[in-house]
């Protein structure tokens, strides 16, 4: 008589997700070159300005998350308003599992559900880096950096927090890393197309482990967004 076995589908999904993470090639490190020296805020401001959003943009993407709870994916839209505001809307297959948030600078104005940003991205500088944007450091941070014809690399440190950026040219690529107390919180690797717009971004969070991949499908300039877009009960 044949035996029947119960298959724990959630366990299988988790196993597959962790296997994918384990088999993936090692992530590149964000290495600030030895030639880096102390730089002032005005110099960092010039580097950051190269990636600061201009005007209004609508960015559409596919997302794929793999973590210790399994694997999930879907589609999303980012509506970006210069210089530092974004409305994020994401949904799973067939519109399930919807979530939304408004982020201004390095803080959320609101999120629905409350943990959506925390689950997907562990730091706001890393969130912005996934869209190809570098963020200004907080006041009083220690700054160092270096730039040549092939890359710009810089880092800020404030208390226990350290953020590092390396922007490569030809082909363009942005690497960003967040550390707290010397421990890596997360790492972002964003690739760009010939037009300078992001084509793909991958966030790795080693402590979970977890990986979030965004594949950008469309990006276009927009007219200014209506005010209710930024409210929790807006469109």
Cα–Cα distance measured from residue 54 to residue 48, given in angstroms and rounded to the nearest whole number? 13
In a domain? residue 130: yes
Are 214 and 130 a contacting pair, CB within 8 Å?
A: yes
Does residue 176 carry a pLDDT above 80? yes
Does residue 177 carry a pLDDT above 80? yes
Q: What is the pLDDT of residues 77-98, one digit of tens each?
A: 999 999 999 999 999 987 778 9
What are the helix (H) ranges across 50-176?
A: 116-120, 124-129
β strands within 34-150, DSSP E? 37-38, 56-67, 70-81, 85-91, 99-104, 107-112, 142-147
pTM above 0.75, yes or no: yes
Does residue 5 carry a pLDDT above 60? no
Total domains in the fold of the chain: 1
Are 157 and 142 a contacting pair, CB within 8 Å?
A: yes
Cα–Cα distance measured from residue 147 to residue 229, given in angstroms and rounded to the nearest whole number? 38
Q: What is the CATH number of the domain that holds 72?
A: 2.50.20.10
Token representation of residue 170: 């030809």
Q: What is the pLDDT of residues 13-51, one digit of tens each?
A: 333 334 444 444 445 568 899 999 999 999 999 999 999
In a domain? residue 17: no
In a domain? residue 133: yes
Cα–Cα distance measured from residue 221 to residue 207, given in angstroms and rounded to the nearest whole number? 37
In a domain? residue 20: no
Q: What are phi and psi of 71, to 5 degrees?
A: -125, 145
* 10-14, 159-163, 223-227, range with the lowest pLDDT: 10-14
Domain that holds residue 157: 36-230
In a domain? residue 24: no
In a domain? residue 235: no
In a domain? residue 153: yes
The mean of the pLDDT values for the chain is 88
Does residue 4 carry a pLDDT above 80? no
Q: What percent of the chain has pLDDT over 90?
A: 74
In a domain? residue 28: no
């Amino acid at each position: 008589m044949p035996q029947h076995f119960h298959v724990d589908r959630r366990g299988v999904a988790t196993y597959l997700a962790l296997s994918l993470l384990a088999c993936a090639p090692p992530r590149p490190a964000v290495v600030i070159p030895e030639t880096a020296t102390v730089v002032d805020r005005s110099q960092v401001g010039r580097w950051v300005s190269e990636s600061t959003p201009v005007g209004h943009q609508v960015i559409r993407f596919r997302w794929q998350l793999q973590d210790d709870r399994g694997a999930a994916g879907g589609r999303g839209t980012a509506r970006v308003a210069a210089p530092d505001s974004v409305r994020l809307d994401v949904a799973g297959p067939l519109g399930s599992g919807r979530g939304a948030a408004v982020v201004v600078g390095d803080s959320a104005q609101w999120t629905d559900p409350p943990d959506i940003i925390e689950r997907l991205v562990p730091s706001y500088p890393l969130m912005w880096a996934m869209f190809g944007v570098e963020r200004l450091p907080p006041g009083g941070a220690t700054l160092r950096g270096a730039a040549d014809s092939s890359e710009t690399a810089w880092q800020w440190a404030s208390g226990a927090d350290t953020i590092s950026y390396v922007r490569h040219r030809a082909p363009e690529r942005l690497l960003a890393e967040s550390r707290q107390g010397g421990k890596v919180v997360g790492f972002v690797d964003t690739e760009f197309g010939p037009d300078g717009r992001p084509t793909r971004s991958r966030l790795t969070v080693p402590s979970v482990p977890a990986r979030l991949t965004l594949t950008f499908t469309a990006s276009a300039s927009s007219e200014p967004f209506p005010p209710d877009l930024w409210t929790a009960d807006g469109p």
